[in-house]
A and B are shown apart, each in its own frame.
Chain A
Amino acid sequence: MTELLLAKLSVILDALPYILEGTLVTILTVAGSLALGFVVGVPMAVLEVYGPRWSRCLIRTYVWFFRGMPILLLLFLFYFGLFELIGLNLSTIAASCLVLGMASAAYQSQIFRGSIQSLPAGQLRAALALGMRESEGILYIVLPQALRLSIPGWSNEFSILLKDSAMCFVLGTPEIMARTHFVASRTYEHLALYLTAGVLYFCITLVGVSLLRCLERKVRIPGYASVNGSF
């Protein structure tokens, strides 16, 4: 029994450096997609709330499209379909970031829209009354508050995207899942190896969510909203 465990342990240890390298790829992919999703999602949210009618329609269609399709399908559709068609030659990591990022923008835009719309309308009105343009009021008054309110929802998006990133293995992105699968299919140590991969995802989630919680505490507005355990 002990021998068996030791054998499994050595398989894990042998594979670990290889899989850990995949962890970096996973983190890179997730960070890239989240960043892209943020950079695209914030303006989308602003335009959906304050923009002209046509932009609202456009954004709703975009969100509907990306939220309406499985990530796996989107990866195939873009990487083997669209990118191929338009001759876009991207590395698998870049392609993964792009597809996940575009999908994440759809989800993130709705997180931000919810936060923006939860603010009292008087905030922007007061900014306008002081002579700020609407764009200045949004930039200096609305977004700083809305982004704070978005952190809990955003940490959801982070943890979901992290696990969605495992899907990128179908493109050959050398991330945790792909590498684990590669080793497992050769050594047949499925249980031990996939458990290892699971633990890695688990740890990244823990670290990421803790960091976001720290950020949330750091930017909390004193006296505003209830904190854990108080009303």
Chain B
Amino acid sequence: MTVSLSPVLSARHISVNLGGKQILDDVSIDVSPGELKVLIGPSGAGKSTFLQCLNFLIPPDTGIISLESHEIDAKNPRALSLYRRQVGMIFQDFNLFDHLTAVDNVAIALRKVAGLSRDEARRRAMAELDRVGLSQKSGLYPAELSGGQKQRVAIARALAMDPKVMLLDEPTSALDPELVGEVLAVIRDLAAGGMTMIMATHQMDFAQALATEILFMEQGRIIEQGSPAELLAPGSGTRTGDFCRRLLDAAPAAAKD
């Protein structure tokens, strides 16, 4: 597909061993501009660890990570900080700063990391909140927001740093079912706007509709990867297809509860 473009983010041979357990075993990924790669797989497969490795929140034991063909030296705090600014991270449990209002959550890194003045940072933060439809809630604290609103603030916070790529770690898993849609809508807008993303999710409809590639992880390895059409075609006999059918079978049962 978009093979001719050089990757924005590239991770080669990432391995992580925690307490004698091989969490990630030689995982590699290349993301080209505008791509949305979706990581799926059973819990414990290493999706979350992999995403956190990609911005060194969990330092990989081995492997190389490069942004726009520049290898990242995680030992150098300046380089690491600069790299992380360009790689937005969205967490499953939001991790909004609890002591700051929505607008200050977005503004703080603009001020302290990007060096904007208080006013500039505030203006930019308001614009980002507007982009996720929350300019009305700018003065509220995280504890006063719904889960979906919190996650949208978290997305605005990451976008404010002008990231070249976004990592989304199951952004809707902690949400009530009726709130999932508003967050997915924001992510869909991002994808439409050409944002490069790697996203771990269990939202198969979403993955099928928007993913440029699906990567199926199990036991710390990517065991299948391909376009949604390839992996999810009826009768394809893939692990991915199997996994998705089981998810979809479970969904109506869950809805009955």
Contacts and interface: CB of A to CB of B under 8 A. Distances in A.
B75 interface: no
A222 B112 CA distance: 24
Interface string A16-33: 000000000000000000
Contact of B112 (A123, A126, A132, A221): A132
A131 B84 contact: yes
Given A122-B95, A133-B81, A223 B144 contact: yes
B23 interface: no
A129 B55 contact: yes
B112 A136 contact: yes
Contact of A130 (B109, B141, B142): B109
A13 interface: no
A221 B81 contact: no
Interface in A115-154: 120, 122-123, 125-133, 136, 140-141, 144-145, 148
B95 A130 contact: no
B91 A125 contact: yes
Contacts of A129: 55, 57, 84, 87-89, 91, 158
B98 interface: yes
A224 interface: yes
B4 to A, nearest CB: 31
Nearest to B56: A128
Contact of A131 (B82, B98, B154): B82
B97 interface: yes
A224 B112 contact: no
B129 interface: no
Contact of B144 (A120, A144, A222): A222
Interface residues of B, number: 30
Interface string A71-110: 0000000000000000000000000000000000000000
A32 B249 CA distance: 67
A224 B144 CA distance: 8
A90 to B, nearest CB: 39
Interface string B104-142: 000011001100000000000000000000000000111
Contact of B141 (A122, A133, A140, A221): A221
B223 interface: no
Interface in A176-224: 221-224
Q: Which of A120, A123, A130, A131 has the most CB of B within 10 A?
A: A130
Contacts of B87: 129
A131 B113 contact: yes
B113 A224 contact: no
B157 interface: yes
Contacts of A136: 112-113
A133 B82 CA distance: 10
B25 interface: no
B108 A222 contact: no
B161 A130 contact: yes
Interface in B54-96: 55, 57, 77, 81-82, 84-85, 87-89, 91, 93, 95-96
Interface string B34-64: 0000000000000000000001010000000
B143 interface: yes
B239 to A, nearest CB: 31
A126 B95 contact: yes
Contacts of A131: 81-82, 84-85, 109, 113, 161
B95 A125 contact: yes
B107 to A, nearest CB: 11
A141 B104 CA distance: 11
A221 B140 CA distance: 10
Contacts of B144: 222-223
Contact of A144 (B82, B99, B143): B99
Given A122-B93, A132-B112, A221 B98 contact: yes
Given A221-B143, A222-B143, A132 B113 contact: yes
A148 B95 contact: no
Contacts of B109: 127, 130-132
A145 B143 CA distance: 14
Given A122-B93, A141-B97, A148-B99, A130 B113 contact: yes
Name the 7 nearest CB pairs between A and B, nearest first: A223-B143, A131-B85, A126-B95, A122-B95, A129-B89, A130-B109, A223-B144
6 contacts: A123-B98, A148-B99, A221-B99, A222-B140, A223-B140, A224-B99
Interface of A: 120, 122-123, 125-133, 136, 140-141, 144-145, 148, 221-224
